[in-house]
Amino acid sequence: MKPNYIKQLWSEGKPVINGFLSIPCPLVSEVMAEQGYDALTIDLQHGIVDYQASVGMMQAMRASKVVPMIRVPWLDPSAIMKALDAGAYGVVCPMINTAEQAAELVSCVRYPPAGIRSYGPSRASISAGTNYGPEADENMLCFAMIETREAMGNLEAIAATPGLDGLYIGPADLTIGLTGMRYPNGFDREEPEIIEAIKRILASAHGHGIKAALHCGTASYALRALEWGFDMVTVANDIRMLTNAASASLKAVRQGIDDSASLPTGTVDQY
C-alpha cells in the first residue's frame, strides 16, 4: 500500500499544510493539488459536495503527491467507511463531544479487531495500491473536531481515546460554542479566551501523544499556529480563495477606472 505522506512528514518533524475543497469540481481539485499542498480535505459537511463528486475529486488529485482526506458530515459510520473506501487516507469528524463518540469514530476507521470498519475498499484497493487490507489501519488518520463547550469539558478524555490520531480545531464553531454570538464569526481568532482554549486543546493533544490541527483563514495566522506548535494547519478553502482573488482583482480594476476618471482632461493616454 502507498504510505501516508502526512505520517512521513510528522516522522521527520515537519508540519503539514492542508487545504480545504468545498467546490464539487475535479478541475478545481486538480488545480489545488498541483500547488504543493501536503494534504487536501474534501468538505462533505459544509461544502457543496456529495459522495459521488468527492470520488471524482480524489481521482483528479491522484496524479499529485497530495494526501486526500475527507471531512465527513457527522459521526455516521456509513459516511466514514464510504469515505475511506473511496480512497481517503483520513477523516475529520465534526462535533465530537465525548470520549464515547471519539471511540466510536476510531472504531469506524479501523478494521477488526481494532474497530468495526466493514471491508469493501471499492476504489481504495486500486488508488492506494496492493495489500490495502493488512496495511490500511496504520495508514488511515482519524481526527476528532473539538468545537463545543461540552467537548472542552471532556477534552482530556477525548484526547486519551486509543487509536485517535489528532484533534482538529474548528475555531468558528468553537467560538460560538464557548461564547455564543458575542463575537463576529470567523476563523482567525484574537480574543484572549479563545486563544487560551485553542492552546489548551493543543496542549491536551500533545500531552496524550497525538497531533493537533487548526483551521486558519489566512497564511499569516497559519504561520502563527505553527509557531505555537500545531502539527497541521489548514489554510482557507477553494471558495474563500476564489472569492478573495476575484474581489481583489475587480477592486483593482474599478479603482484604476476611478483614478483615470479623476485625472484632468488630456492627461489620459490616447490610443
Closest CA to 58 of 121, 10, 118: 121
**17: phi then psi, degrees, rounded to nearest 5:** -105, 120
What is the amino acid identity at position 245?
A
**115: phi then psi, degrees, rounded to nearest 5:** -155, -160
Pairing of the two strands 141-146 and 90-93:
parallel
Q: Locate cell 497559519: which residue? A: 222
Assess whether 46 carries a catalytic annotation. yes
213 within 8 A of 170, measured Cβ to Cβ: no
142 within 8 A of 163, measured Cβ to Cβ: yes
**160: phi then psi, degrees, rounded to nearest 5:** -85, 0
73 within 8 A of 45, measured Cβ to Cβ: yes
Q: Of 46, 206, 208, 215, which residue is the catalytic one?
A: 46
263 within 8 A of 48, measured Cβ to Cβ: no
Q: Which string of DSSP letters, residue by residue, matches 149-165?
A: HHHHHTHHHHHT-TT--
Q: Is 144 helix (H, G, I), strand (E, B) or coil?
A: strand
> What residues are labeled active site?
46
